[in-house]
Structure 1
């Protein structure tokens, strides 16, 4: 929530990928302001569990909880003592959730990474960063992958 003291709310899409970490690091190294407030948005993978047994459902949910905690711990360590931040998670299509949470938080900017998929793959599978760019009502910074990152 932006305040009158030059506070800027920045939403950053995070997951367990090196692309998200690279986007976060680029923000921290190049455009972070002292009064920024971060909203780190994570949309865990979703699974169709309708036909799964209760034991399988329980195991998947426990694994998901461990993954989400590991991501939160990693980014908590990255912001600790440097910048104010909080985590938000949501379920659904990642692009839609990220845009919705950024709007709820009154973010003035969204930062996201990209896997740099080819045009064909992006067309068939969709792209979270493309969705955010086309549906967000605030500026979006898409950090492209560095050459040394492998897909």
Structure 2
């Protein structure tokens, strides 16, 4: 059985990636894991402790929402499905989890929630492609 990892961030492209992974997994009888990573350490220049706490809570809440949406999309899926939530550097966590989890394919959207998402391949997608050792399917 193949193992498919889907990296999701809640963007419209990551939702398309989740649907594509479900389609592939159904036809290939594959296991699917959806991962989302909250980069709560991104705000190192924020000095206000309460603000940092709130930003962290917001990131965690967003991650939970992304995984709940993935669960709803996979409702009724006949195969094995699970979700995982990580914190840290987004690219590092995706690459590490994909390779340690012995996945055959990573599916992700071409653009995410970043500031430059409308102008170029998402920086996360681009970095993952250059650092990962497994096959990657980029969904537009």
TM bucket, shorter chain = 0.7 to 0.9
The 5 A counterparts of 1:1-150 are: 7-29=1-23, 31-33=24-26, 35-46=29-40, 47-49=42-44, 51-82=46-77, 83-115=79-111, 118=119, 127-144=123-140
Alignment RMSD (CA, Å): 2.2
Unpaired segments ≥5 residues, structure 2: 112-116
4+ aligned runs moved over 6 Å, structure 1? none
TM-score (ref. length: structure 1):
0.74
Contact 2:6 2:34 in 1 (8 A): yes
In 2, Cα distance between the equivalents of 1:98 and 1:69?
17
1:9/1:109 contact within 8 Å kept: yes
**Structure 1 gaps, min length 5:** 1-6, 145-151
Once residues 59 and 94 of structure 1 are traced to their aligned partners in structure 2, the CA distance between those partners, rounded to angstroms, is 19
For each residue in 1:55-74, what CA deviation from the matched residue of structure 2 results, as whole angstroms up to 9, or x when unmatched? 22232222222212211111
User: Residues 21-74 of structure 1: CA distance to partner in whole angstroms, max 9, x if unpaired?
Assistant: 011112223x22463111211111333246433322232222222212211111
8 Å CA contact 2:21, 2:32 repeated in 1: no
Q: TM-score, normalised by structure 2?
A: 0.79
